């Protein structure tokens, strides 16, 4: 599938999801108003009850959306990592020989993998977009590996953090 078709498909999916969310919100709002004005007695209590229920639903919806966005992002990066072939990669070893950085090119995406030199065990990984098509520039500094991500200089601390090590173990 082409990148344009995939992008259009994702945009359409987002538009349909937004339309569904708006429809659900409108129906919920209409039901809440009907519940509140159903009788004169206890309107303020029913209104407070509906506010609490609406806040709970909003928080749960926001958390669920954040989890889904994180899962989608992780899945997309994992899918890219599964496509890596050794022929698409360049390797650079640190001056002290403790680490090896491997940068792999997948179109406009770059996957940077950091391995411990002695065991060749993956200890950190980054996926980022690069539309310049220039070779990856890596800078080995004291206690850090730096790489260019667009106009910014990003850093992987050496030794990598526990978070980096845990993420590197995931598929």
In 3D, which of 109, 145, 106 has the Cα closest to residue 124?
A: 145
Contact between 145 and 159 under an 8 Å Cβ cutoff? The reply is no
The enclosing H or E element of 168 equals: helix 162-169
- Of the pLDDT bands very low, low, confident and very high (cuts 50, 70, 90), residue 3 is low
Reading phi first (left if > 0) and then psi (alpha if -120 to 50, else beta), residue 49 is in: alpha
What is the tens place of the pLDDT at every residue in 24-63?
888 888 887 877 777 778 778 878 888 888 888 888 888 8
What is the tens place of the pLDDT at every residue in 83-129?
777 777 888 888 788 888 888 887 777 888 888 877 778 888 888 77
pLDDT, residue 4, reads 53
- Overall pTM surpassing 0.85 (yes/no): no
């Amino acid at each position: 599938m082409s990148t344009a078709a995939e992008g259009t498909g994702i945009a359409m999916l987002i538009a349909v999801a937004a339309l569904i969310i708006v429809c659900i919100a409108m129906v919920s709002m209409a039901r809440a108003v009907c519940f509140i004005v159903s009788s004169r007695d206890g309107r303020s209590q029913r209104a407070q009850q509906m506010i609490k229920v609406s806040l709970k639903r909003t928080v749960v919806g926001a958390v669920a959306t954040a989890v889904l966005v994180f899962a989608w992002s992780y899945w997309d990066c994992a899918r890219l990592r599964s496509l890596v072939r050794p022929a698409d990669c360049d390797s650079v070893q640190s001056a002290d020989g403790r680490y090896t950085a491997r940068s792999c090119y997948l179109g406009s995406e770059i996957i940077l993998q950091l391995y411990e030199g002695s065991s060749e065990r993956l200890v950190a990984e980054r996926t980022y977009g690069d539309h310049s098509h220039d070779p990856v520039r890596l800078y080995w500094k004291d206690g850090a590996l730096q790489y260019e991500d667009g106009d910014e200089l990003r850093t992987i601390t050496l030794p990598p953090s526990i978070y980096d090590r845990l993420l590197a173990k995931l598929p």
